[in-house]
C-alpha cells in the first residue's frame, strides 16, 4: 500500500536544517521563514549562520542557531535535543551538509577523502540517528536527505564525493524499509544536477586548475521549491534537472561508459582550464567567505540558452548511443 495514502499529514512548522549557512541550506531557511516556520539552523560557521538567522527573523521566523560539525555524533544528538526544547517538536529535518574534494583519486590526500565521507555520509547518518527516535516518539516527521546526481553515477575526479552519495542512496533505501510501519514518518531524497551555489568555490581543489560545472546549472531556488514541496507532500525521491533524468535512465544501460564519458569531459576541461592554487577548501574548516545563496557560475540568459541547446544535443546523442548499445546487446544474446 502507498505509504502516503495511509498517513495523516501534520503541517510542517518546526524545521531543522543542517548546512544552513549558505547555498541551498540558506535559501531553504529563508523559504521556510517566509511560511512562518520556527527554525533551528546548524553549520560550522557560527557567524555566517547568525547572518542567515537574522534574515529569517526579519521575515518573522523564530530562529535558534547551533554551530556544530555534523561529523560529531554527540553534537548532533544535542542539536536534536535543543530543537525539541526550542520548538516542542520536529516536523522536518533537512540533512543538507555536503563537501567535496576535486582531483584524481591518487592526487587527493587520503585525509581529504576521509573527511568527505565523514561529512557527506557519516554526518547524515548522525542526523538520522538523532532525529528518528524523536519522530518515532511523536509518530510523525520528514527526513530530507540531500543527495545529488553523484548518487546515480560514478564521479571521476571526485571519487570520495561519489562514494558518499552512493552510500546515502543506499542508506535512505534502508531507512525507508525500516520505517514502513510508521506511516507518518517519511524518508525523502533530493537528486539535483549541478546547482549554482558557493559549494563549488568552497570545495577542496587538488587539480591545480580553476573549478566550474557544466551547463545547465540549476538555480538553487528551484531545488528549494522541491524541498518545501516535500513538507506538503512527501515523496521517496525527487530528481531535478535534465542531466539527472538522463543519468537515471542511462546508468543501468551502460554504467562504465557513462563514467568514462564523464572522465573524458572533465579531463579535457582541466587540460585547458586556467591555473589555480591547490586548496583544502572548506573540508577541515569553514569557508573564509560568507557564502550566500548563489555561486555566480550561471551564464547570462543568451549564453545559457546556447549552453542548454548544446547540452540537450549532447544528451540526445548520449541517449541514441546508449539505445544502440542496448539494442546491440539484446541482439547478441
How high is the pLDDT of residue 267? 82
Q: So where are the chain's domains?
A: 10-298
Cβ partners under 8 Å of residue 233, min gap 6? 4
Nearest residue to 313 via CA among 321, 303, 301, 302: 321
Cell 513538507 maps to which residue? Answer: 231
The yes-or-no answer on residue 161 being catalytic is yes
How high is the pLDDT of residue 289? 76
Cβ partners under 8 Å of residue 42, min gap 6? 16, 17, 18, 19, 20, 49, 65, 66, 67, 68, 70, 79
| Whether pLDDT at 36 is above 70 | yes
Report which DSSP code applies to 122.
Answer: I
- pLDDT-derived band at 258 (thresholds 50, 70, 90) equals confident
pLDDT tens, position by position, 117-149: 999 999 999 999 999 999 999 999 999 999 999
Per-residue pLDDT, averaged over 54-71, amounts to: 97
Cβ(43)–Cβ(49) under 8 Å?
Answer: yes
Per-residue pLDDT, averaged over 252-274, amounts to: 86
Q: Which three cell numbers stand for residue 318?
A: 548520449
Check whether the bond before 216 is cis (ω within 30° of 0): yes
Q: What is the CATH number of domain 10-298?
A: 3.40.50.720
- pLDDT-derived band at 315 (thresholds 50, 70, 90) equals very low
- pLDDT-derived band at 38 (thresholds 50, 70, 90) equals very high
- pLDDT-derived band at 310 (thresholds 50, 70, 90) equals very low
| Whether pLDDT at 314 is above 50 | no
Per-residue pLDDT, averaged over 223-250, amounts to: 95
Cell 535535543 maps to which residue? Answer: 81
Query: In sequence order, what are the beta bridge partners of 187?
Result: 143
Lowest mean pLDDT among 89-98, 165-174, 314-323: 314-323
Lowest mean pLDDT among 166-170, 234-238, 244-248, 317-321: 317-321
CA angle 212, 216, 218 (to 5 degrees): 90
Cβ(254)–Cβ(232) under 8 Å?
Answer: no
State the DSSP string of 138-152: HT-EEEEEE--GGGT
Query: In sequence order, what are the beta bridge partners of 24?
Result: none
Catalytic residue chosen out of the listed positions 161, 191, 206, 269: 161
Lowest mean pLDDT among 56-70, 206-220, 227-241: 206-220
**Cα–Cα distance, 3 to 177 (Å, whole number):** 11
Q: Burial, 97: exposed, middle or buried (Cβ in 10 Å; 0-12, 13-18, 19+)? A: buried
Query: In sequence order, what are the beta bridge partners of 275?
Result: 209
| Whether pLDDT at 109 is above 70 | yes
Distances (CA, A) of 5 to 138, 188, 234, 237: 19, 16, 11, 17
How high is the pLDDT of residue 167? 98
**Cα–Cα distance, 234 to 230 (Å, whole number):** 4
Sign of the alpha-carbon dihedral angle for 248, 253, 256, 257: negative
Per-residue pLDDT, averaged over 105-122, amounts to: 98
Q: Which three cell numbers stand for residue 195?
A: 546547482
Per-residue pLDDT, averaged over 76-87, amounts to: 98
Mean of per-residue pLDDT scores for the chain: 88
Task: Provide the Cα torsion 25, 28, 34, 36; round to 10°.
Answer: -90
pLDDT tens, position by position, 195-231: 999 998 899 999 999 998 888 899 999 999 999 999 9
Q: Which residue has the higher pLDDT, 39 or 256?
A: 39
Per-residue pLDDT, averaged over 36-60, amounts to: 96
Per-residue pLDDT, averaged over 280-285, amounts to: 93
Lowest mean pLDDT among 23-37, 126-140, 162-176, 314-328: 314-328
Q: What are phi and psi of 83, to 5 degrees?
A: -65, -40
Amino acid at each position: 500500500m502507498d505509504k502516503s495514502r495511509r498517513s495523516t499529514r501534520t503541517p510542517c512548522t518546526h524545521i531543522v536544517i543542517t548546512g544552513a549557512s549558505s547555498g541551498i541550506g540558506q535559501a531553504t531557511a529563508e523559504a521556510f521563514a517566509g511560511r512562518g516556520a520556527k527554525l533551528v539552523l546548524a553549520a560550522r560557521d557560527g557567524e555566517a549562520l547568525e547572518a542567515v538567522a537574522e534574515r529569517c527573523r526579519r521575515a518573522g521566523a523564530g530562529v535558534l542557531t547551533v554551530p556544530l560539525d555534523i561529523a560529531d555524533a554527540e553534537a548532533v544528538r544535542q542539536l536534536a535535543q535543543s530543537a525539541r526544547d526550542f520548538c516542542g517538536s520536529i516536523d522536518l529535518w533537512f540533512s543538507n551538509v555536503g563537501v567535496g574534494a576535486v582531483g584524481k583519486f591518487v592526487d587527493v590526500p587520503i585525509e581529504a577523502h576521509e573527511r568527505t565521507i565523514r561529512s557527506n555520509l557519516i554526518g547524515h547518518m548522525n542526523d538520522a540517528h538523532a532525529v528518528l527516535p524523536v519522530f518515532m516518539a511523536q509518530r510523525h516527521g520528514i527526513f530530507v536527505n540531500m543527495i545529488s546526481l553523484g548518487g546515480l553515477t560514478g564521479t571521476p575526479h571526485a571519487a570520495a564525493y561519489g562514494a558518499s552519495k552512493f552510500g546515502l542512496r543506499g542508506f535512505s533505501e534502508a531507512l525507508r524499509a525500516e520505517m514502513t510501519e510508521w506511516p507518518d514518518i517519511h524518508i525523502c531524497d533530493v537528486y539535483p544536477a549541478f546547482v549554482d551555489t558557493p559549494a563549488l568555490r568552497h570545495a577542496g581543489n587538488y587539480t591545480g586548475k580553476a573549478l566550474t560545472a557544466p551547463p545547465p546549472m540549476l538555480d538553487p531556488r528551484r531545488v528549494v521549491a522541491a524541498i518545501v514541496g516535500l513538507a506538503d507532500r512527501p515523496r521517496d525521491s525527487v530528481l531535478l534537472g535534465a542531466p539527472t533524468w538522463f543519468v537515471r535512465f542511462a546508468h543501468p544501460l551502460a554504467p562504465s561508459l557513462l563514467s568514462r564519458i564523464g572522465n573524458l569531459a572533465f579531463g579535457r576541461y582541466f587540460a585547458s582550464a586556467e591555473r589555480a592554487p591547490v586548496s583544502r577548501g572548506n573540508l577541515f574548516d569553514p569557508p573564509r567567505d560568507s557564502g550566500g545563496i548563489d555561486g555566480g557560475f550561471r551564464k547570462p540568459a543568451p549564453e545559457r540558452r546556447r549552453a542548454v541547446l548544446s547540452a540537450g544535443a549532447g544528451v540526445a546523442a548520449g541517449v541514441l548511443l546508449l539505445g544502440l548499445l542496448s539494442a546491440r546487446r539484446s541482439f547478441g544474446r
